[in-house]
Amino acid sequence: MNILVINGPNLNLLGSREKNIYGKTSLAELMIWLETSQMGIKHKFKFFQSNHEGDIIDTIQDERFWADGIIINPGAFTHYSYAIRDSILSVSIPTIEVHLSNINNREKFRKISVIRDVCIDQIYGKGKNSYLEGLKILLEFLIDKK
């Protein structure tokens, strides 16, 4: 399967920002860990990170013929980007929303996701394992779909 992994704003600073919330693992280390995991090694990945909403939308659209599934951590865009939501909806690619932290145990605004209802699931609060669980659920969904 071809898996597109998209990371939104400020995730490029993983490993150096708010380590008590996001951990010590850098984004590059996290993506290598996911790709080389027991589940990941059987699949092809493309990784993308941007602090810019339009770049994320362009990537979703540009990869619509390559990607079988998407794992997205929209970062702060989770809470207000109807444009990313509509982009996910428009390409009809099964998508999993992931978050490193438990968004329901943080500030009130973080509990709101405008992305969630166009995704097959939302995984949060498991640190880097949120990505691995997201991959597992996404792959199960894609295999069942075939």
**CA 125 – CA 98 distance, rounded (Å):** 9
C-beta of residue 54 within 8 angstroms of C-beta of residue 89: no
Of 22, 43, 124, 131, the catalytic one is 22
CATH number, residue 35: 3.40.50.9100
Parallel, antiparallel or unpaired: strands 95-99 and 44-49: unpaired
With a pLDDT cut of 90, the percent of the chain lying above it is: 82
How many structural domains comprise the chain? 1
Of 52, 82, 99, 124, the catalytic one is 99
Read off the pLDDT of residues 1-51 as tens digits, 9 standing for 90 and up.
999 999 999 999 998 887 777 778 999 999 999 999 999 999 999 999 999
Write down the pLDDT at residue 145: 79
- 124 assigned to active site: no
**Cα end-to-end span (Å), the chain:** 11
CB atoms under 10 Å from CB of 102, counted, come to: 14
| pLDDT of 110 higher than 80 | no
Which residue range is the domain that position 124 belongs to? 2-145
| pLDDT of 109 higher than 90 | no
Q: Look up the pTM and report it.
A: 0.94
- 52 assigned to active site: no
Write down the pLDDT at residue 146: 66
**CA 131 – CA 32 distance, rounded (Å):** 12
The residue length of the chain stands at 146
Read off the pLDDT of residues 45-79 as tens digits, 9 standing for 90 and up.
999 999 999 999 999 999 999 999 999 999 999 99
Q: Sorting pLDDT into bands at 50, 70 and 90, what band is 94?
A: very high
C-beta of residue 72 within 8 angstroms of C-beta of residue 97: yes
For residue 88, give the amino acid letter: I
- Calculate mean pLDDT across residues 82-98: 98
CB atoms under 10 Å from CB of 110, counted, come to: 17
With a pLDDT cut of 70, the percent of the chain lying above it is: 99
